[in-house]
Amino acid sequence: MTTNILSSLNKNNKLVIGLISGTSKDGIDAALVKLTGSGVDTKIELLKFICTPYNVEVRERLDNLLPSCTVQEISDLNFLIGEAFADAALVAANEAGFNIGEVDLIGSHGQTVFHNPPSRRDGIPSTLQIGETSVIAERTGVTTVGDFRTRDMACGGEGAPLVPYFDFLLLSEKNKVKIAQNIGGIGNATVVTENIEDVIAFDTGPGNMLMDRVISIATEGREGFDKDGKLASQGVIQSDLLYKLIMDPYFSLPPPKSTGEELFGKEMGLKLFSKVKNGDIKLPDLLLTLVAFTVETIALSYERFIFPKWDVSEIVFSGGGCKNPVLMENLMDRLHGFKCSTTDNYGIPSEVKEAVAFAVLANELVSGNKTNMPRVTGANSWVPMGKIVLGR
């Protein structure tokens, strides 16, 4: 039986499901793709994409998990989220018209609950993603790859960003340099060059995370984001607050670097919303200031760390932030003069990219390839990323 499972992973053509829930914690993205080959010559065909929201219980548990929680709470959530990820994979296969038994592989990033990279210089570098891969493999019967970040961190790396390998596969072009800018809960930029050895990437700072957190607090959890940026569009940027936010030491750190909930999550969201609660600032003004914060930190990252070294031909956006017209309009104004597009122009819808990336990374692991990109993460060497749980 084990021999049969392993031989199925050696197929040149595979059906693979990629799963991820980002730092916004709003739900699970699942992408079913057909992958042909591996390495830089991989051919990718998207067959189905779904997003399934977390149920109320799981969302509330996640929102209240940090900064203080019990070991049992983390253990319980690890299994609960594993069940939710398994359900998402089953639904994706079914809606695409496939029996789950026809799927060869699942790649699951899981749900990040803690990430302390070396660049923070705060205690022992470590990371924790939950969503038990054994539960996913057992419920679906499909061999599952997860826990992608830990091997890179064990090798001295940041454990993030993880998607630049996929960015290279999707966007590399001879004699051109592009920026792949994802705007999820956190923003991250990949400098895609024609040679994989020259690629760099880093987290630019908050993407949607702080905006979403403030809306969630303001509505007591009834709303998870500012739909179409409607509230922010009624606001006025508070320059003094924006300046204070931009002065955070993270933005002056050179790459490699990564960040997340620990710096731009719940604690900062509560602190910022207290200004609304105390009457110091109106909610629309705070939201538009946070839009400007995301815009400025992206642009400043380019000006400090990318434009002095590369002649950029195009900036390609992806992630949920692409659906916020106020954010994108402000970004286009700030980046005036640059050709800007989204991954839709390259055959991958902007909201789908990261789920597809983890399908690709899972395929790379079972194909024996190393994908952490030391120049991106600061790791000591190239290493394979992920842990394999065999299916039935």
Which pLDDT tens digits describe the chain residue by residue (392 residues)? Answer: 555 556 667 899 999 999 999 766 778 999 999 999 999 889 999 999 999 998 888 888 887 777 778 899 999 999 999 999 999 999 999 999 999 999 999 999 999 988 999 988 889 999 999 999 999 999 999 999 999 999 999 999 999 899 999 999 999 999 999 999 999 999 999 999 999 999 999 999 999 999 999 998 999 888 888 999 999 999 999 999 999 999 999 999 999 998 988 889 888 999 999 999 999 999 999 999 999 999 999 999 999 999 999 999 999 999 999 999 999 999 999 999 999 999 999 999 999 999 999 999 999 999 999 999 999 999 999 999 999 999 98
- Helices 283-301 and 239-246: crossing angle in degrees, nearest 10, is 40
Contact 350, 46 (CB under 8 A): no
Would you say the C-alpha torsion 123, 127, 128, 134 has a positive or negative sign? negative
Q: Which of 20, 309, 325 is nearest to 161 (CA)?
A: 20
3-class DSSP string for 189-244: EEEECCCHHHCEEEEEEECCHHHHHHHHHHCCCCCCCCHHHCCHHHCCCCHHHHHH
- Angstrom distances, CA of residue 155 to CA of 124, 184, 199, 214: 13, 26, 19, 36
Q: What is the DSSP letter of 306?
A: I
CATH number of 164-346: 3.30.420.40
Domain with CATH 3.30.420.40 in the chain: 2-159+352-389, 164-346
Looking at domain 2-159+352-389, its CATH superfamily turns out to be: ATPase, nucleotide binding domain (3.30.420.40)
